Amino acid sequence: MAESAAASTQELERAALDSLAAAKSETELEDWRIAYLGRRGELSVRLRSVGSLPAEQRREAGASLNRLKSRLTTAFDEAVQTASQSGRETAPLDAIDITLPGRRSKLGGLHPSEMMMREILEVFNDMGFQTVEGPIVELEKYNFDMLNVPPDHPARDLQDTLWIDRKSRDKVLLRTQTSPMQIRTMEKQKPPVRIVSPGLCFRHEATDATHEWQFHQVEGLAVDEGVTMSDLKGTLYEFTRRIFGTQRKIRFRCDYFPFVEPGVDVSVDWNGRWVEIMGAGMVHPKVLEGVGYDSSKYTGFAFGMGPERIAMLRYNIEDIRHFFSNDLRFLSQF
Ligand code: FA5
């Protein structure tokens, strides 16, 4: 009888240790503890039954079961520690529900300004204008001097220009317009020239529904023998037809820009109100001479437009500040 009690204690120990080794998660370890060490667990039941054994066996059986209890308790504590060190406790296998649907990774999209610019460039590329890009951090001479902007012109005022370096001989600024690309292009090549140049511009000005301190422009320049104001108007009419359709009303009005003569601004009807989308004009002879072109032989036209303003008219966006506020509720609509 005593022998069979010892044998069954050994069997119990082997079974307990085997199932402890198989316990993979915090939950399984807890189930094991309840099954073997809990108040109604296997060991407690056996310990309680010691009282019904013959008197001469009770002492040995009780002591043997208590030693087993202590070994199993130690083994359990070690298993819990190992599980928490190996991360089993924090990431139990049964925490992953493999029946859940996967998470779709979202593809980003083009920013509406970028979409609009690409569309604008495509229209001009179709008309034979080549796309060129230039620096955002620009020299004063390209942004102002060589564009016939005199030093006292209001556009140079601190209010308008964000300066990077005003002290060095070649003053450096964040370009206020894409027009410096007219000069950079003409310095590099002889006529005929037909380019469009997109990019960011910055101005130190108060923001409102149609003005941002950071915005894009697309510059255009065509220089050749015999280029006239009709070419300018024909090109820009074709552009507005392609972007807004044939029914939208367009207005050309005289305007002043130091680097063109004559100069115009172009506005588009927006719910009964005129919104200016670009400045344009015939390239000033001083600008042509400044880059070494013979102004008695060559003439040209130039324009600079704001893609955000154009996108506003196109998609009925009431405030330009949405473009750079980085709000996905706005951006994901495009
Ligand atoms: C210019 O910047 C001239 N460089 C345009 C030009 C080029 C004239 C070539 C003649 C020949 P203006 O400041 O008007 O002009 O800006 C041109 C366009 O840029 C505006 O019609 C508008 O669409 C956009 N723009 C100007 N300022 C802002 C601003 N603060 N926020 C958003 N868009 C602006």
pLDDT on residue 86: 72
Question: By alpha-carbon position, which residue is closest to atom 12 of ligand 1?
Answer: 279
Residue 152's pLDDT is what? 83
Res 220: pLDDT:
98
Task: Identify residue 298 by its one-letter amino acid code.
Answer: Y
Both tokens of 112, joined, read 């509406």
SS3 content of the chain, % helix, strand, coil (to 5): 45, 20, 35
Instruction: State which ligand 1 atom lies nearest to the alpha carbon of 283.
Output: 11
Number of H helices and E strands in the chain, helices first, is 11, 10
User: Ligand 1: residues within 6 Å at CB?
Assistant: 177, 179, 203, 205, 211-212, 215, 217, 257, 260, 263, 276-281, 302-306, 308-309, 320
Give pLDDT, residue 43: 87
Q: How far is the CA of 299 from the centre of ligand 1 (A)?
A: 22
- Candidates 112, 104, 106, 107; CA nearest to 333 is 112
Distance 246 CA to ligand 1 centre (A): 24
- Of 72, 90, 89, nearest in space to 32 by CA: 72
User: Which atom belonging to ligand 1 lies closest to the Cα atom of 278?
Assistant: 21
3-state secondary structure of 278: strand
Q: Which residues pair with 302 in a beta bridge?
A: 221, 281
Q: Ligand 1 mean position to 99 CA, how many Å? A: 56
> Which of 120, 253, 257 to mutate to test ligand 1, by most ligand atoms within 8 A of the CB atom?
257
Got the DSSP string for 156-209? GSTTT--EEESSSSS-EEE-SSSTHHHHHHHHH-PSPEEEEEEEEEE-----BT
**Which residue owns the Cα nearest ligand 1 atom 29?**
211
Q: Check residue 289 and give its pLDDT.
A: 97
How high is the mean pLDDT in each 10-residue block of the chain (334 residues)?
Answer: 65 91 86 90 87 86 89 90 68 75 87 97 98 97 94 75 89 96 97 98 92 96 98 96 92 95 93 91 98 98 96 92 94 91
**Tokens representing residue 77 in the block:** 């504590």
CA 72 – CA 55 distance, rounded (Å): 26
Ligand 1 atom closest to 221 (CA): 9
Q: What is the CATH number of domain 112-331?
A: 3.30.930.10
Q: Measuring CA to CA, which residue among 287, 240, 244 is closest to residue 263?
A: 287
CA of 277 to the centre of ligand 1 (A): 7
Tell me what pLDDT residue 1 has: 43
Counted residue by residue, the chain has a size of: 334
Nearest CA to ligand 1 atom 15: 279
Burial 112-148 (b: 16+ CB within 10 A, else e): bbeebbeebbebbeeeebeebebeeebbbebbbbbbb
For ligand 1, the distance from its centroid to the CA atom of residue 178, given in whole angstroms, is 9
Residue 204 CA to ligand 1 centre (angstroms): 14
* Interacting residues of 4 by C-beta distance below 8 A, sequence separation 6+: none
User: Which atom of ligand 1 is closest in space to residue 280's alpha carbon?
Assistant: 10
Residue to probe by mutation, ligand 1, list 148, 177, 178, 203, most atoms within 8 Å of CB = 177
Encoded tokens for 88: 């089993």
CB burial of 92-105 (b: ≥16 within 10 Å; e: otherwise) equals beeeeeeeeeeeee
Q: How far is the CA of 257 from the centre of ligand 1 (A)?
A: 10
